[in-house]
Amino acid sequence: MTGTGSPAPLPDERRAQVVELLRQRGVVRVTDLAEELDVSAITIRRDIALLASQGVIRRVRGGAVLHGGALVGEPEGAAPPQPVPEENGGEARRLTIGMVVPSLDYYWPDVIRGVRQAAAAAGARIVLRGASYQAADERRQLSWLVEFVGVDGLLVAPTTTGDDGEELVRWLRQAPVPVVLVERAATIGPYQEAMESVVSDHALGAAMAVRHLAALGHRRIGVITTEQSPTAPHVRRGWRQASEELGLEGAPDLTVVDRRDPGWTAALDQILDACLATGTTALLVHPDPEAIGLVERCQERGLRVPGDLGVVTYDDEVAELCDPPLSAVRPPKAAIGRAAFALLAARLADRDPHRPAHRVVVEPRLIVRSSSA
- The per-residue pLDDT for 107 is 96
Overall CATH class of domain 202-332+367-372: alpha beta
Per-state percent for the chain, helix, strand, coil, to nearest 5: 40, 20, 40
Comparing CA positions, the residue from 42, 74, 86 lying closest to residue 349 is 86
pLDDT tens digit sequence for 248-272: 999 999 999 999 999 999 999 999 9
Contact between residue 173 and residue 117 where contact means Cβ atoms under 8 Å apart: no
Sheet holding 125-130, edge to edge: 125-130, 96-101, 153-156, 179-182, 197-200, 359-362
pLDDT over 90 percentage in the chain:
68
Whole-number Å distance between alpha carbons of 258 and 92: 48
pLDDT exceeds cutoff 80 at 50: no
| DSSP states of 239-274 | HHHHHHHHTPPP--EEEE--TTSTTHHHHHHHHHHH
- The per-residue pLDDT for 53 is 65
pLDDT exceeds cutoff 70 at 25: no
- The per-residue pLDDT for 59 is 58
- Least confident residue range of 2-16, 125-139, 203-217, 230-244: 2-16
DSSP single-letter state for residue 319:
G
- The per-residue pLDDT for 233 is 96
Q: What is the mean predicted confidence (pLDDT) over 344-356?
A: 88
pLDDT tens digit sequence for 77-97: 433 333 333 334 444 568 999
What residue segments make up the domains of the chain, in order of their start? 11-81, 96-195, 202-332+367-372
- The per-residue pLDDT for 321 is 97
pLDDT tens digit sequence for 97-108: 999 999 999 999
Helix (H, G, I), strand (E, B) or coil at 363: coil
pLDDT exceeds cutoff 60 at 360: yes
- The per-residue pLDDT for 6 is 54
Whole-number Å distance between alpha carbons of 312 and 348: 40
Of the pLDDT bands very low, low, confident and very high (cuts 50, 70, 90), residue 132 is: confident
Of the pLDDT bands very low, low, confident and very high (cuts 50, 70, 90), residue 7 is: low
- The per-residue pLDDT for 72 is 43
Higher pLDDT, 131 or 32: 131
pLDDT tens digit sequence for 270-304: 999 999 999 999 999 999 999 999 999 999 999 99
- The per-residue pLDDT for 60 is 53
Helix (H, G, I), strand (E, B) or coil at 173: helix
pLDDT tens digit sequence for 51-83: 766 667 665 555 555 655 544 444 434 333 333
- The per-residue pLDDT for 274 is 97
Q: CA torsion sign, 313 to 319 to 324 to 327?
A: positive
Q: Average pLDDT over the chain, rounded to whole?
A: 87
pLDDT over 70 percentage in the chain:
85
* Domains 11-81 and 96-195 are alike in CATH topology: no
- The per-residue pLDDT for 180 is 98
- The CATH fold assigned to 11-81 is Arc Repressor Mutant, subunit A (1.10.10)
Does the structural domain 96-195 have CATH classification 3.40.50.2300?
yes
Q: Which pTM was predicted? A: 0.77
pLDDT exceeds cutoff 90 at 135: yes
Higher pLDDT, 88 or 120: 120
pLDDT exceeds cutoff 70 at 157: yes
- The per-residue pLDDT for 90 is 43
